[in-house]
Amino acid sequence: MATEAAPPFVIGHKVSFSKTISADDIRKTAEASGDTNPLHLDDAYAAKTRFKQRIAHGVLTSGVISAALGVNLPGPNYTTIFLSQSLQFQRPVAVGDTLTANLEVTAVDRRRLTLKTDCLNQNGETVATGTADVLLDPYPRE
Amino acid sequence: MATEAAPPFVIGHKVSFSKTISADDIRKTAEASGDTNPLHLDDAYAAKTRFKQRIAHGVLTSGVISAALGVNLPGPNYTTIFLSQSLQFQRPVAVGDTLTANLEVTAVDRRRLTLKTDCLNQNGETVATGTADVLLDPYPRE
């Protein structure tokens, strides 16, 4: 998705990032994290849960927010350092769902930003809400 | 890591999960999430940041906590549903670091648990602190 050109150190500054979640993304998340909970990996297991099908790890939703913060927020002269995150998961994410993280700067303290981080699916339903604190470090740092 | 046999619905119940973070884990996290921030992927770029080397995505730390919640917490008769997470990142994680997520139940409301989630590296240094709320759903659900 497009990188925003505007300087990020302004309350109200917005960035977004979208990604369609594949079965391969879920497998990679399981391998990278060690979270092999069969709710994410095993169709037969997942069929007997409240979701009736495999769902993505919550951290994959968190990852799409991280992508917006790490790729689309900083521009070429800064790098994003993740300080803290708070996330409430509202809806499950299935294979093939397209997640869009919509971020908006809500507070600025020098180079430290607080952002509202909402994540929607392709139907416009809220998958997760939350906040993040990041530090934008000048790049390159001599 | 070993699954705990004790029932999890008790304040003070503890589970842990450890994982050594490889360059491949970081690559998979970037591919799965879309977070291709070169701080995580590009040695030459990362050398010019405050960290002087590539570091893991914060969501990979979150993922090791998720593994403890999803794999080691529930036992065979429940499945873990992630409701919310709060995480403060304290230290960077480099390739080859071994993360250990130490979780402890701090509140129980029927099948809903709140846990303290601390994550340490192989030197015993705190990488992240936080909390998580999960629902343990009976499995299989008829």
The residue that leads in pLDDT, A3 or A106, is A106
pLDDT of res. B99: 98
Fold of B14-138: Thiol Ester Dehydrase; Chain A (3.10.129)
Are A29 and B31 in contact (CB < 8 Å)?
Answer: no
Q: Which sequence spans correspond to the domains of chain B? A: 14-138
What is the spatial distance between Cα B22 and Cα B94, in angstroms, rounded to a whole number? 9
Any B CB within 8 A of A43 CB: no
Are B85 and A82 in contact (CB < 8 Å)?
Answer: no
What is the spatial distance between Cα A126 and Cα A101, in angstroms, rounded to a whole number? 10
Helices (H), chain B: 23-33, 38-41, 43-46, 58-67
What is the spatial distance between Cα A43 and Cα B27, in angstroms, rounded to a whole number? 26
Put simply, whether the predicted model's pTM sits higher than 0.80 gets the answer: yes
List pLDDT tens digits, range B125-139.
Answer: 999 999 999 999 999
Three-class SS state of A37: coil
Residues of A in contact with B89 (CB under 8 A): 82-84
What is the spatial distance between Cα A24 and Cα A19, in angstroms, rounded to a whole number? 13
pLDDT at position A37 over 60: yes
Three-class SS state of B48: coil
User: Residue A70: which of B35, B60, B137 has the nearest Cβ?
Assistant: B35
ipTM of the complex: 0.93
Query: In a 10 Å sphere around its CB, with 0-12 CB exposed, 13-18 middle and 19+ buried, how is residue B116 labelled?
Result: middle
CB proximity under 8 Å: B 1-30 to A: 17, 19, 24-26, 28-29
What pLDDT tens digit does each residue of chain B (142 aa) get?
A: 444 445 789 999 999 999 999 999 999 999 999 999 999 999 999 999 999 999 999 999 999 999 999 999 998 899 999 999 999 999 999 999 999 999 999 999 999 999 999 999 999 999 999 999 999 999 998 6
Contact status, residue B40 vs residue B27, Cβ threshold 8 Å: no
What is the spatial distance between Cα B140 and Cα B142, in angstroms, rounded to a whole number? 6
Are A81 and B37 in contact (CB < 8 Å)?
Answer: no
pLDDT of res. B6: 54
